[in-house]
Structure 1
Amino acid sequence: MTLHVGPTGDIVACVRLRRAVFIEEQGVPEDVEQDGRDGAAHHVLAMLDGVPVGCGRILVEGATGKIGRVCVLREHRGHGIGLALVGACLDVLRDLPGVERAELGAQIYAIGLYEKQGFAAYGPEFSDAGGQPHRMMGRAL
């Protein structure tokens, strides 16, 4: 099996993956997940043997890159794909001039994944994306 993770222009594949994970699996309302910001974002896609299995989205606000919408199809979790997606997002951010920090809102169950990439949690737990508990995390690039 061959995994390729990197920047993509295939927003349609990313939206399909996010629909499967966030809307169908986790019950996030469609109007929350589909926020109209994809056109202004950078996207990364994980392809396993040529089939999309995960993605992430990056929005840049000043010197901060905000990583979000990171997801992996249920049947492909636990094999390092999420970690590879976060790594690819960080690579994209490092290549953008003036971006010095990465931040994200992590679902509580995924905090350990982001800690492996050097992120540290801060601030209180909050509810986001249809009620899922989250914490903010950040790191310098």
Structure 2
Amino acid sequence: MINIMKMRLLSLPMLLLVALVANGCDNPVGAGSGGGHPEGFVITNAQGAEVATYRHGGTSTGQITANASGVSTFRIFLLARDGTRIELDGLEYRIRSATVTTEVFASATIVGADQLRVSGKNIAGSTILLLDVEHGNHPEFVGRVTLLMQ
């Protein structure tokens, strides 16, 4: 009887630990950053001006304008629900990939945790840039913004 009670007492902390781990993804951004999962991202140009945004669910505004015959660099921030910018650290959240849907215009790569590098292929035109945002080891969302090559 005493052994059964000891086993029950030992299994209670394990049960609590499992419950905490199972719910561990509920507030990855933290209360100080607007709380909850990121709602999208904002892209800024080299001067720090906001050029494009994406909100989870499909709403995008603005466009990225890049050099068709050179390399353009941008910075990516995640957006909390309240609009607060969240810096990417590459640990908790990261941009898994950047994809240009019409590859004849440009290629895109992520440099470091938050830099987007767009390399033009000497052809002007408009296409879509897809950014695959990941949290830990699972996908968070894929955002899309217009990419204009000039």
Verify same fold: TM over 0.5. no
TM-score interval, smaller chain: under 0.3
Greater Cα radius of gyration, structure 1 or 2:
2
- TM-score (structure 2 length as normaliser): 0.26
Q: Which has the higher strand share?
A: 2
Normalized per residue, which structure has more helix?
Answer: 1
